[in-house]
Amino acid sequence: MKRVGRVDRVAHLAAATSVQQSVRDPVSTTEVNVIGTLNVLGAAKALKAERVVFASSAAVYGTPRAFPIAEDASISPISPYGTSKAASELYLRAFEENHGIEAVSLRYFNVYGPRQTPSEYAGVISVFAKRALRRQPLQIFGDGSQTRDFIYVSDVIDATVIALEKNLKSRAFNIASGKEITILELAKMMQEIIEAGLELRFSPSLAGDIARSIADVTRAHSELGFIAGTSMKDGLSTTAQWLAQGVRTKRAHQG
């Protein structure tokens, strides 16, 4: 703590992010996400930080009853991962109440982009792109009708920086594009970008998965002044190009 000195505001982005891993091992997810958040809050208090901006998740909503999903929707997570994020939000509020640390929770929807770890729906885009580049079938869980609200990583960075810098109320914000796309549509778009006629392979649905997700981004627009600026096509193309460069580099090293 002495080496760090005074800190005004903190962005807490670290987490175990796999929904499926949280189902398999809820204790580990809780230790990393909830206890980890308490450690960050304790450090923020010791360093006299005035605000903590927390990377929360749309997973806190569970299975929504109304769409698009607004921040005042009920918090009812259906996975240990979502539960860990909801619990962390509550701890932020408790530290605000007891220690005066401003609490801002950014409920990221489906973030994608270069350097993303390919795993389940958290990284379905990188999974699709890698398989497409290798001319392998694209695996779809369920019938592909599930929708997601994807947001490009640079837009998420912009929103997070705004939340750190702007004078605003302590509250939660949906960070998303406000647009939905089905997983099947996503797979077909990836086929077009990679220009490969790939097989689509369907598998049973994943445990803890939800059928639909689209955010109401009104609050982010009006209070943060944030609007996602990257189109789905542009974001997918950039991500695919980055992954393709990695594939070419790997092949060169092997050769």
Express each pLDDT in 119-140 by its tens digit: 554 478 888 888 888 889 999 9
The residue annotated as part of the active site, out of 81, 91, 112, 121, is 81
pLDDT at 116 over 90: no
- Is 81 an active-site residue? yes
How long a stretch of residues is the chain?
255
Regarding beta strands 200-203 and 138-141, do their DSSP bridges make them parallel or antiparallel, or are they unpaired?
parallel
* Tokens 């790939």 sit on residue: 198
Average pLDDT over residues 232-248: 85
pTM: 0.91
Helices assigned H by DSSP within 36-79: 36-46
Structural domains of the chain, ranges and CATH numbers in brackets: 9-254 (3.40.50.720)
Q: Which of 104-113, 114-123, 218-227 has the lowest mean pLDDT?
A: 114-123
Q: What percent of the chain has pLDDT over 70?
A: 91
Query: What is the reported pLDDT for 157?
Result: 98
pLDDT of 128-176, one tens digit each? 888 888 889 999 999 999 999 999 999 999 999 999 999 999 999 999 9
Per-residue pLDDT tens digits for 39-63: 999 999 999 999 999 999 999 999 9
Do residues 127 and 76 lie in contact, with contact meaning Cβ atoms separated by under 8 Å? no
Please, which residues bridge with residue 152 across strands? Answer: 112
